[in-house]
Amino acid sequence: MSEPDKYLPDAIETKWRERWATDRTNEPDLDHAVRPLYNLMMFPYPSAEGLHVGNLFAFTGADVYGRFKRMQGYQVFEPIGFDAFGIHSENYAIKVGAHPADLIPKNIANFTRQLTRMGGMFAWRNVLSTTEPSYYKWTQWVFLQLYKQGLAYKKNGAVNWCPSCKTVLSNEQVIGGECERCGTVVEQRVLEQWYFRITDYAERLLANLDDPTTMDWSETTVAAQKNWLGRSEGADITFRASDAASSPITVYTTRPDTLFGATFLVLAPEHPLVTALTTNAQRMDVEAYRAQAAAKDLVSRKVGDQQKSGVFTGSTAMNPATGAQVPIWIADYVLMDYGTGAIMAVPGHDERDFEFATRFALPIVRVVAAVDQDAGTPLTAAYTDVDAGGHMVNSREFDGRTPLDTKAAITEWLASRGTGKKTVQYRLHDWCISRQRYWGPPIPIIYCDVCGPVPVPEEQLPVELPALDDFRPDDSGVSPLARHAEWYFVPCPTCGQQGRRETDVSDTFLDSAWYFLRYPSSELTDRPFDRDRTRTWLPVASYIGGNEHAVLHLLYSRFITMVLHDAGMLDFEEPFRKFRAHGLIVKDGAKMSKSRGNVVVPDQYIDKWGADTFRTYLMFLGPFQEGGDFRDSGISGPRRFLDKVWDLVTLASHPDCRDAEIRREVLIKWHQTKRRVAEEIEQLRYNTAIAALMELVNVLREQNCAERRLVSELVQMTAPFAPHFAEECWERLGHSSTIFDSAWPAFDAALTLEDTITIAVQVNGKTRGSVTVPRDASEATVRAAAEAEPAVAKYLGGELKKVIGVPGRMLSFVVGG
C-alpha cells in the first residue's frame, strides 16, 4: 500500500509557477476584453533589501481581489513595475559606493524573483521600470504637455532645500520640517525652480472627492487630501497706507466679521512692500529682522510653540471700517506663501495675534462677546468661537448680530466700497518638480541666448540621462549633469545656435504620476498610451496602496490625469475609480524598523511554509484595511487549514468516492459559506472570509463529508488566497484547465436558511433562556414555547407590560412588579 500524497508546497509552487508562465495564464488579451477589470497596486521602489512583508501584504491583498474578480468572469489585468528612479535609489548607491545604473537592474531582478514566488497574478509582459528610456521618454513628454498648456513654469522663490540630499523638495516631501527621504532638517533657499500649476486644479481636485460616481475611495484618504488641499473661505481686504505714495496692502482673513477689532497689520518679512513701508528710523531694525528670518530653517520658522518675534516698520495704514490708523509690523509667523503674505491682526479673536499684541503691548479690542458677556468684558485670551451664540460688539451698525451673519455682511459692505472681496484660499502650493540630482529624467528644456527656454521637440525625446561616473550632488544648487559638457551644450532646436540643456531632473513623483496609463500600452514605442486600450482598461477599477501616498502620489496622479483629460487625450479626469488603503503590519505589537531589528523578511517564511501558507496567513492576521500584528506563532494555523483541505481533496479524488446525499445541515453550511466568502472578499474582509472557510472545513470533517462537488467548490474559494495549492487540488479533482478560469461557486439563497432557529428570550432586558422553533414559526408559537421554558417562566411572575419580538432573533418580555 502506498503512502497517501502529502502536501509539499515547494514542489507544487514550482510546478504551477512554471505552468502559468508557459501558458501565459496571467495575461489577458489587452485588445479584446469583454469584461475588462484593471486591478492595480502601487508599484514598488526596488530597494537593495528586497520586498519586505509590508509590500507582500499589500500585493497579496490586491492579488486576492484580482483572482476573485477573474473567477467572477472578468478579464483581469494585474500589472506590476518598478519605481526605480529617484533620490532613494541614488542615496543608497552613494552609500555603498556603487552606481545606481548598476544596482537597479540587480534589485529589479531580485524583486522579480520575489514577486513571482509570491504567486501574484502579474501580467509580466507589461512590466515597466521608470528608469528605462522607453518609459521616461514619455515622462518627459508629459512634462512637455504641461509646458505647452502653460502649466509648467520656472520661478525664483523660497524653496525647501535638503542639505543632505543637496536638492530642493516639494512641500509634500517635507514632513514636519524634515526631508521625507533622509530625515534631515530642511533649509530655506531662494532658487529658480520648475513648478507645475497644480493650484489651478485645487477646486476640481477637491470637488471630485465628493463625487461618488467617479471616486469611491477610502474615507481616510479622502480626508487626508481634503486636509492637504486646505480650502478656506474668507475675504481679501485692502488697507490704505498713510503714506500716499505707498501701495495699498491687501490682507487675507477668514474672519472679516472681526474687522473692527483689527488693531495692527502684520506682513511676512519677505513681503515685497516691506522696503517701501519701512521708515528710515526703522530701517536698520527691519533689515536685521529680515536677514534673521531668511536664515532660519523652516522648522524653527514654522513651529509655533516659541515666542513670537517681529519688528515695527514705522508706517501705519487705515482700517477701512474704523478709519483708525493702525501700525504695520513684520513678523515671521506670517508666511509669504499663504494668502497674500499679509494679515490684519485681531488680537481679541486670534490666539497668535493675541500673543503678539501682548508681547509688544499693542491694543486689544473685543468685537465678539459670548452669550453672557458684553462689550466691556475684559479679554484674558483670544475668544475664537464663531458659532457659540456670541454677538458683535464695538462694531457700530453690526453690533448685536452673530459673527457668521456679520462675516457675509461686512464682506458685502467692503465690496460695495471697493476695498475688499470674498475669496477662497487653498493651502496647496504649486508642485516644485525640479531636483538638482542625477538619477531621474532630465527636464526636456534647452536654454538659448537668442530664443530663451525652448522645449525639446517631441521627436527628439528621450533626452537620455548620460552615463556619469561622478554623479554626486553638491551644495551649489546645480545638478551634477552640468558637469558633463558634451551633454550640456547642444544646438538650440529653434535657431541652431549653441544652447545649454536644463540640468535639473524631474521629481520621482512625476514618474509615478502617470505609470498606470502606460501599463496597458507598455510595448508601444510610438505613443505613451493607446487610445483604444486606454478606453478599454481605464479608469482603474480597483487600486490598493498605502495611505502614506495620500497627498503625494495619489494627488499628483489625479492632477496629471486631469491635465491630460483637458488636453483631450483622456476621456476621464479621475484615474482611480476605487481606491482602498491597506493597513500596516506591525511585528509582535511594535512597528517594524531596521533599528529595532524586527523587520520581517518574507523569503525565510516562504522557504519554511510555502507562499500559499504565507499569503493565507497575511490575509488572516487582521482586517486588510486595518493591518495587523505579525507573529511567527500564528502561521501554523493557516497551514493546518490548508493541510485539512488537502486531506479532503485526497478523499474526494479517490476513485471510490461517489456522489452521495449531503446531509441537510452540511448543505446549509455549504451555501451559507459561499454567500459569506463572496461578500467578504468583495469588501476586502479577507480575515473573516478565511474564518468562514475554516468553519466549513471543520463541519465537513466532523460530518465525515468529502463529497466531490462540495470539496471542489471549497478549493475554488481558497484559490484567491492559496493559488498554487488550489491549482494542484483542482487538477487532482480531475479538472484540466486553470482553476482561475472556472466560475466562482454560486449559492442557492433558499439553502442558506436554517430549518430551525434558536431564539433568545429576554425578561426585562436580561437573557433568561432560548427556544428552538421552526424557521417560519409565528410569534405566538415562539411566545408559547418561551413561556413554557422553565428558565424563563420563573421570571414571568409579575404583571406583563409588553412583549417585543424580533422575527428570527429574539423575544423580550417586559414585566412589572
Partner RNA sequence: GCUCGGGUGGCGAAAUGGCAGACGCAGGGGACUUAAAAUCCCCAGGGGGCAACCCCGUCCCGGUUCGAGUCCGGGCCCGAGCACCA
Within positions 707 to 746, which residues make up the interface with RNA, using CB under 7 A? Answer: none
Nearest residue (CB) to RNA, 352 versus 500? 352
Of the two residues 227 and 476, which places its CB atom closer to RNA in the complex?
227
Could you say whether residue 339 binds RNA (CB under 7 A)? yes
Q: Out of 455, 520, 610, 628, which residue is the one contacting RNA (CB under 7 A)? A: 628
Strand ranges, E, within 210-290: 216-217, 232-241, 249-253, 264-267
Q: How far is the CB of 736 from RNA (least distance, A)?
A: 31
Distance (Å, rounded) from C-alpha 693 to C-alpha 710? Answer: 12
Q: State the nearest-atom distance from the C-beta of 623 to RNA, in Å.
A: 4
Identify residues 500-559 at the interface with RNA (CB under 7 A): 547-548, 550-551
Q: How many CB atoms lie within 10 A of CB 299?
A: 14
Interface region with RNA, contact rule CB under 7 A, candidates 193-201, 250-258, 370-378, 451-459: 250-258
**Residue 778 in contact with RNA, rule: CB under 7 A:** no
Does position 765 interact with RNA (CB under 7 A)? The reply is yes
Span of 77-85, 535-543, 605-613, 803-811 interacting with RNA by CB under 7 A: 803-811
In contact, 810 and 759? CB cutoff 8 Å: yes
Of 123, 343, 448, 722, the one binding RNA (CB under 7 A) is 343
Cell 474578480 identifies what position? 69
Whether the CB-CB separation of 256 and 410 falls below 8 Å is answered with: yes
Is position 183 an interface residue for RNA (rule: CB under 7 A)? no
Q: Pick the stretch among 10-18, 189-197, 218-226, 391-399 that binds RNA (CB under 7 A).
A: 218-226
With binding defined as CB under 7 A, does residue 257 bind RNA? no
Q: Counting contacts by CB under 7 A, is residue 577 touching RNA?
A: no
Q: Which of 622, 720, 723, 745 binds RNA (CB under 7 A)?
A: 622
Q: Choose between 257 and 707: whose C-beta lies nearer to RNA.
A: 257
758 sits near RNA (criterion: CB under 7 A)? yes
Buried b (16+ CB within 10 A) or exposed e, 557-583: bbbbbbbbeeeebbebbbbbbebbbbb
Contact between 54 and RNA by CB under 7 A: the answer reads no
Instruction: Give CA–CA dist 77/61, Å, rounded.
Output: 15
Applying CB under 7 A, the span of 121-129, 316-324, 433-441, 625-633 interacting with RNA comes to 625-633
Distance CA 376, CA 724 (A): 78
Give 132 or 789: the residue with its C-beta nearer to RNA: 789
- How many residues belong to the chain? 817
Cell triple for 398: 453690526
Q: How far is the CB of 594 from RNA (least distance, A)?
A: 15
- 189 near RNA, rule: CB under 7 A: no
Tell me which stretch binds RNA (CB under 7 A): 121-129, 300-308, 606-614, 775-783: 300-308
**Of 109, 175, 408, 495, which one interacts with RNA (CB under 7 A)?**
175
Q: What DSSP line would sit under 647-687, residue for residue? A: HHHHHHTSTT----PPPHHHHHHHHHHHHHHHHHHHTT-HH
Kindly write down the DSSP assignment for every residue of 135-176, as one continuous string. HHHHHHHHHHHHHHTT-EEEEEEEEEEETTTTEEE-GGGEET
Q: Is 799 in the site for RNA (CB under 7 A)?
A: no
Residue 367 found at the interface with RNA (CB under 7 A): no
Number of residues engaging RNA in binding (CB under 7 A): 88
CA separation, residue 118 to residues 63, 518, 660 (Å): 10, 24, 37
Answer yes or no whether residue 294 interacts with RNA by CB under 7 A.
no
Whether residue 403 has a cis bond before it, omega within 30° of 0: no
Q: Which is nearer to RNA, 102 or 219 (CB)?
A: 219
Q: Using CB under 7 A, pick the residue from 282, 358, 373, 770 that binds RNA.
A: 770
Q: Is 117 in the site for RNA (CB under 7 A)?
A: no
Of 648-667, binders to RNA (CB under 7 A) are none
By C-beta, is 517 or 771 nearer to RNA?
771
Calculate the alpha carbon distances from 407 to 235, 371, 422 in Å.
9, 18, 10
**Between 379 and 760, whose beta carbon lies closer to RNA?**
760
Greatest CA separation for the chain: 108
**Which of 514, 530, 553, 540 is closest to 128 using CA atoms?**
514
Residue 131 · residue 499 · CB < 8 Å: no
608 near RNA (CB under 7 A) = no
Burial category of 321 from C-beta neighbours within 10 Å (exposed 0-12, middle 13-18, buried 19 and up): buried
Q: Nearest distance from residue 509's CB to RNA, in Å?
A: 14
- The distance of closest approach from Cβ of residue 259 to RNA in the complex, given in angstroms and rounded to an integer, is 11
Report the SS3 class of residue 244.
coil
